[in-house]
Amino acid sequence: MALTSSVLHRSKLPDVGTTIFSVIGQLSAQHNAINLSQGAPNFPCDATLIDGVTRAMQQGHNQYAPMTGHQALKEVLAEKVATLYGQSYDVASEILITGSASEGIYAAIAGLVHPGDEVIFFEPAFDSYAPIIRLQGATPIALKLQLPNFTINWDALRAAITGRTRMIIINTPHNPSAQVLSHGDLVQLAAITRHTDIVVLSDEVYEHILFDGRQHHGMATSPELAQRSVIISSFGKTFHVTGWRVGYCLAPAALMEEVVKVHQFMMFAADTPMQVALADYLHIAEHYLSLSRFYQQKRDLLKQWLQDSPFRALPSAGSFFMLISYADFSDEPDNDMVRRLIVDHGVATIPLSAFYTDGTDNKLLRLSFAKDESTLQAGAQALCRVRPR
Ligand SMILES: Cc1ncc(COP(=O)(O)O)c(C=O)c1O
């Protein structure tokens, strides 16, 4: 029996409901559809990693980890970042292990954004940014990425900056557009933020998934931007363990101090056995350096299998997402299209309008190719059976 509460309360997020991912996931399960909607792999992680966690538990690593993270994990991360991106982060004061990238994003925004501040981000966007900004009493300012390649309009960014702009949120590789920032983009961002107190919150959870030989242009690759950036990443995305909820955050000590204050009271510390296992696993660089190759194969297969469908695949430069367009054959709202694909064709996707606060509908759907080959093929076959009408 449901409880009935007589407590009067005013919602802090009255317009926020259950995330689109849960809604589509449920509908997909209800119709037994092939689920290409959620950004979670449906294949197992490396058994070595599971053995590592098991071993860590058996060896007694079952109590609180140090508040900012397991020392060995922070050390190996510092090495990885220095080697890959050329930036040194101090293990004691500039690296934080978080309970997922989501927690890191929350802690960074809550720690650094004040009531009345403005935070600029780019849409389509990952769904957590705007609600977290609002929960701080700050104002989210959404700028639209420019189609067809979802590029940042630097003039629009320059024009949107006011005396109250406290933070700019960047995401590369980008969910949901699957585009990545270039070195030229970082040069623009550095020029725009120079001589300001703007913090860059850089969501880089797909840092190890870039295609066709592209390099990751994260904030740690720019000595200037690294000075004002909080970088967020996620082991869940890199090692196919999205359920483990472990991520990390890099920032100069003065910014990190404030992020850590929030983390301290949200999580205190991330899961200990996972951190111990990840520390060992990260010593082999191939474990993350092989990821681009692994996902590029999936991207290419999906693209090939979609060739006979009426949908047009947009280029995917990074992440494990691909957008497909149906603008050539239908002007149906994307929410209706997604529902129809689940109910009539047994395949679940995400409508791109869900990533815009104003529901912009460009007749685009997001597919995740973090799936095994048989799922990808079955999903593509279902999309090939769609007839334009
Ligand atoms: C762009 C982006 N940021 C953050 C996250 C959250 O990552 P985590 O699962 O580690 O919380 C996701 C997950 O889908 C994402 O796509």
Show the CA angle centred on residue 49, arms to residues 47 and 55, nearest 5°. 105
pTM of the model: 0.96
pLDDT digits (tens, 9 = 90+) for 369-380: 999 999 999 999
Which of 96, 205, 321 best tests ligand 1's pocket when mutated (most atoms within 8 Å of CB)?
A: 205
What the chain holds in terms of domains, given with CATH numbers, is: 20-43+290-384 (3.90.1150.10), 47-286 (3.40.640.10)
Neighbours of 87 (CB within 10 A): 21
Tell me whether residue 156 is exposed, middle or buried, using C-beta atoms within 10 angstroms of its C-beta: 0 to 12, 13 to 18, 19 or more. Answer: middle
Residue 15: per-residue pLDDT: 87
Altogether, the residues listed in the chain come to a count of 389
> What is the rounded CA–CA span in Å between residue 216 and residue 181?
8
> What is the rounded CA–CA span in Å between residue 343 and residue 76?
47
Judged against a pLDDT cut of 80, whether residue 331 lies above it is answered with: yes
**CA–centroid distance, residue 104 to ligand 1 (Å):** 10
pLDDT digits (tens, 9 = 90+) for 198-220: 999 999 999 999 999 999 999 99
Judged against a pLDDT cut of 80, whether residue 34 lies above it is answered with: yes
For ligand 1, is residue 209 a contact (CB within 6 Å)? no
pLDDT digits (tens, 9 = 90+) for 85-111: 999 999 999 999 999 999 999 999 999
Q: Pick from 363, 362, 84: which is nearest to 219 by CA?
A: 84
Q: Are 133 and 123 in contact (CB under 8 A)?
A: no
Atom of ligand 1 nearest to the CA of 203: 3
> Before 148, cis peptide (omega within 30)?
yes
Judged against a pLDDT cut of 90, whether residue 2 lies above it is answered with: no
Q: Are 321 and 369 in contact (CB under 8 A)?
A: yes
Tell me whether residue 237 is exposed, middle or buried, using C-beta atoms within 10 angstroms of its C-beta: 0 to 12, 13 to 18, 19 or more. Answer: buried
Average pLDDT of the residues in 261-277:
98
Q: Are 170 and 181 in contact (CB under 8 A)?
A: yes
Backbone dihedral angles phi then psi of residue 182, each to the nearest 5 degrees: -105, 170
pLDDT digits (tens, 9 = 90+) for 35-71: 999 889 999 999 999 999 999 999 999 999 999 999 9
Specify the pairing of strand 118-123 against strand 34-35.
Answer: unpaired
**CA–centroid distance, residue 101 to ligand 1 (Å):** 6
Atom of ligand 1 nearest to the CA of 102: 11
Residue 115: per-residue pLDDT: 98
Which of 123, 128, 145, 175 best tests ligand 1's pocket when mutated (most atoms within 8 Å of CB)?
A: 175
Helix, strand and coil in the chain, % to nearest 5: 40, 15, 45
Show the CA angle centred on residue 80, arms to residues 253 and 224, nearest 5°. 45
**CA–centroid distance, residue 389 to ligand 1 (Å):** 36
For ligand 1, is residue 175 a contact (CB within 6 Å)? yes
> What is the rounded CA–CA span in Å between residue 169 and residue 384?
37
For 90, how many CA atoms within 13 A lie in the half-sphere containing its CB?
Answer: 10
pLDDT classification of 21: cutoffs 50, 70, 90: confident
Atom of ligand 1 nearest to the CA of 171: 1
Judged against a pLDDT cut of 90, whether residue 1 lies above it is answered with: no
The tokens for 125 are 């966007």
**Beta bridge pairs of residue 200:** 168, 229
Buried residues in 274-299 as b, exposed as e (16+ CB within 10 A): bbbbbbbbbeeeebbeebbeebbebb
For ligand 1, is residue 126 a contact (CB within 6 Å)? yes
**CA–centroid distance, residue 102 to ligand 1 (Å):** 6
Atom of ligand 1 nearest to the CA of 175: 1
Longest dimension (CA), the chain: 61
Atom of ligand 1 nearest to the CA of 236: 10
Question: What is the SS3 assignment for 260?
Answer: helix
Residue 285: per-residue pLDDT: 97
**CA–centroid distance, residue 8 to ligand 1 (Å):** 33
Q: What is the DSSP string of 180-247?
A: ---HHHHHHHHHHHTTS-PEEEEE-TTTT-B-TTPPP--GGG-HHHHTTEEEEEEHHHHTT-GGG--E
E strand or H helix at 325: strand 321-325
Instruction: Please report how the helices 291-305 and 373-384 are oriented relative to each other, as an axis angle in degrees rounded to 10.
Output: 30
